[in-house]
Structure 1
Amino acid sequence: MDSPMLTPKVLRSTAKLPETPALERIGYGTGVGVFNLNRDEKSPWAAKIISRHAGRDRKQYSNRLQLEAKVLSSLNHPNVIGYRAFVKRPDGREILLMEQCEQSLCDLIELRVDQCLGPFPNKYIEKVAVDIANALDYLHTSLVLHGDIKSGNILVKNNFEIVKLCDFGVSLPLKTDGTLHRVKGHKAMYVGTPCWSAPEVLKGDECLGAIITSKADIFSYGLVFWEMMTLSVPNTSTAIDESYYTGISDDLDAHLGESPPIPASLIVDPNYKQIINLYQMCTIQDYLKRPSAKQILYYIDNFFFDKISIRDAESKISSTPF
């Protein structure tokens, strides 16, 4: 894997994959020696490579990239970004090659802001809800906590033809009961992005009271609907800029871990009724009362197009045996 023949040549910097910090964008390449394709055939991929400017943090980011490659290579689901290869450049920097998608949901939110288009139509929010719930159900069943659900880590192909989850650099292992799996000698810490993080994980390390379960992903998943309805970053007054990806800014307010209110204009719009119901269920402060990804899919399949109150919906899914 260290051979220069296996190192993809960067043709242009057009990849749209959101990155973990200190990773830089690169673009397309031919698949010679990597995908066993014909020499004249091109295969588009998204790639992540450690920045030359990572400095003393290079080891940390290298470990994160290796973790992401390990997790992705073990997964196979239509709503999870596809793994392609993990190779090394002649200069020693690793490259993670993945399936390429056109744009992130964050890109589309920014576009709607720039063009003053207003909230996403409910059909697009529902598509994101279904596809990402399918991804989370698969991950949690596979005992993987994504750990950083947000619009920047959700990729969209074509005009919402399919939606995929990406960026597994801070994933954590789960036990069969959905709680964090502690591996002896390994300190597992929830990283996430503060603006999207569930209240129970914002308390710091587990020894300080943080509770890490699959329901942390569900809370962040719910906030994605809020993003699509309001075109804003949740739980902060920060505009969409570099702090959007890190969740760290000088003007963060005191609302981290909260469920931000829905604008009145959307509450009275019947088109958003079920999305708002789902948002409210997913962002309940008590993680024990949040639905599982499987229960979310059950709710979507059975109630999205019915006039049902959130209380009735919660009652029905809480009695669902999974």
Structure 2
Amino acid sequence: MAEGCFKTPAKPKGRTSKGIDVSGGKFNLEIPASPFLARLGYGTGVSVYSLDRGKEQSPWAIKKLNKFYRERQTVQKVCLEKEAELMRKLNHPNIIGFRSYTQTPEGPMLLLEKCDWSLLDVIEERVDKGSNAFEAWKIEKVAKDVVFALEFLHHTLFYMHGDLKSANVLVNGDFDAVKLCDFGVAVKMDEDFTAPAEEYTGTRYWLAKEVLEGSKERITNKAEMYSYGLTVFEMLSLSFPHMEDATDCSTSTETDSSFPEDEDSVVDESENSTLGTRPYLPERLAAFYAADKNYNDILSIYFLCTSENAGERPAANHLASSFREKMAAGEA
């Protein structure tokens, strides 16, 4: 990912946050100023940094507002507070772990478990190296772990993630663990699994047709299953959905001191008639997958979840049950 450009101060100045509450305990944690932290990634108005806590402790990730946004009462600030509140409830092996939320001289900070890299990074590295398709087990591992996270979100907490895509899926090691992250635009559902369509923001290329059309009717959890299908598509196609000419999937080019992007410079994706439909797999890869039965289940998930008809898409708990049956039979 793009790295921010900073000037090194003449005298390094650390930032210390005292009394951070983590798992019921209190301790002093020194958080260096942003220029002295390695940036892991960024989104609209926020950056994520790595915090090294010493040799005997695992590193954490720090999510913080960029300068323009932390000095104002912005949507981004509200989203970070909302994310912290929800993260406290998200105790699941396939969801990034919450560590703390604290106020510092640099504004509010959300401290989280740190993973090795995002699924987007993994895909981009594979493309850069000129590698062919992912092995079937790796795609199935991501599909399984993500749907377990969605099952918990949808059917236990009645939330939708709100922006499901490869950039918001994290990976440890060689797909040893897969975890969902970034809950700043999560959507609360009623117990009938519905929510107002306008509350589901997401990223347009990954949105289901019923969300894009701004239906007056409420959307269901099945809208998110379309985004899930397109996340599987990213691994199958080694590309982004509905973006044939795209070379960069990032949604922001901001640095720590930047202003919001100029809306006039944003491409009007609404003119793309393929949005909300099932994107085609590249012919070369489609032929490869068709010849290898190990990809059959993955292809079935992709086709089912990307149906334009929401009623035809499986719910997360149904897919999770199918994966558990495969695991019990020693097939996954």
TM-score by length of 1: 0.80
Q: 1:280 aligns with which of 272, 295, 303?
A: 303
Of 115, 125, 141, which residue of structure 2 is paired with 1:111? 125
Query: After superposition, what is the alpha-carbon deviation per residue over 1:99-132, rounded to whole angstroms, capped at 9, x for unaligned?
Result: 0000000000000010011221110000001101
- The reply to whether residue 236 of structure 1 matches residue 248 of structure 2 is no
Q: Following TM superposition, by how much is the alpha carbon of 1:244 offset from its aligned partner in structure 2, in angstroms?
A: 5.0
The residue aligned with 2:110 is: 96
User: Partners in 2 of 1:245 and 1:19 — Cα distance?
Assistant: 7
Question: Does structure 2 retain, via aligned residues, the 8 Å contact 1:143–1:176?
Answer: yes
Are 1:133 and 1:296, in contact at CA under 8 Å, matched by a contact in 2?
yes
Displacement of 1:57 after TM fit?
Answer: 6.8
Equivalent residue letter for 2:267:
D
- Range that drifts further, 195-204 or 252-261: 252-261
Of 40, 48, 58, the residue aligned with 1:25 is: 48
**Could you tell me which residue of structure 2 aligns to residue 5 of structure 1?**
18
Matched, 1:259 2:260: no
Deviations 1:27-79 (Å, cap 9, x if unpaired)? 21449xxxxxxxx9544111110001338875111001011101111110000
**In the alignment, which residue of structure 2 is the partner of 1:311?**
none
Aligned equivalents of 1:261 and 1:100: distance in 2?
34
Query: Percent identity over the alignment?
Result: 36
Quote the offset at 1:144 in angstroms.
0.9
Asked if 1:194 is matched to 2:204, the reply is yes
Q: AA paired with 1:191?
A: T
Count of residue pairs the alignment pairs up: 286
Asked if the contact 1:238/1:251 (under 8 Å) is kept, the reply is no
User: What pairs with 1:1-322 in structure 2 (closer than 5 Å)?
Assistant: 4-6=17-19, 8-10=30-32, 12-14=36-38, 16=40, 18-30=41-53, 42-54=57-69, 59-91=74-106, 93-141=107-155, 142-180=157-195, 189-204=199-214, 208-209=215-216, 211-241=218-248, 243=250, 250=267, 252=269, 253-262=272-281, 263=283, 264-265=286-287, 266-302=289-325
Q: Secondary structure at the match of 1:85?
A: strand
1:245-276: per-residue Cα shift (whole Å, max 9, x none)? Answer: 69x95384331111112233233332211111
Q: Secondary structure at the match of 1:25?
A: strand
Alignment partners' CA distance in 1, 2:227 and 2:239:
14
The two structures, once aligned, show a CA RMSD in angstroms of: 2.9
State the alpha-carbon separation in 2 of the partners of residues 71 and 277 from structure 1: 32
Q: Distance in 1 between matches of 2:315 and 2:72?
A: 35
Q: What displacement does 1:302 show?
A: 4.2
Cα distance in 1 for partners of 2:325, 2:276 equals 29
Secondary structure of the 1:250 match is coil
Query: How far did 1:220 drift?
Result: 0.6
Q: Relative contact order (C-alpha < 8 Å, sep 6+): which is higher?
A: 2
Instruction: State the distance in 2 between where 1:54 and 1:90 align.
Output: 14
The one-letter amino acid paired with 1:286 is: N
Greater strand share, structure number: 2
Match of 1:319 in 2: none
In 1, Cα distance between the equivalents of 2:70 and 2:52?
27
Which amino acid in the other structure matches residue 257 of structure 1? G
**Using the alignment, how far apart are the partners of 1:136 and 1:297 within structure 2?**
9
Which 5+ residue runs of structure 1 have no aligned equivalent? 32-39, 307-322
Distance, in Å, in 2 between the alignment partners of 1:251 and 1:203 is 15
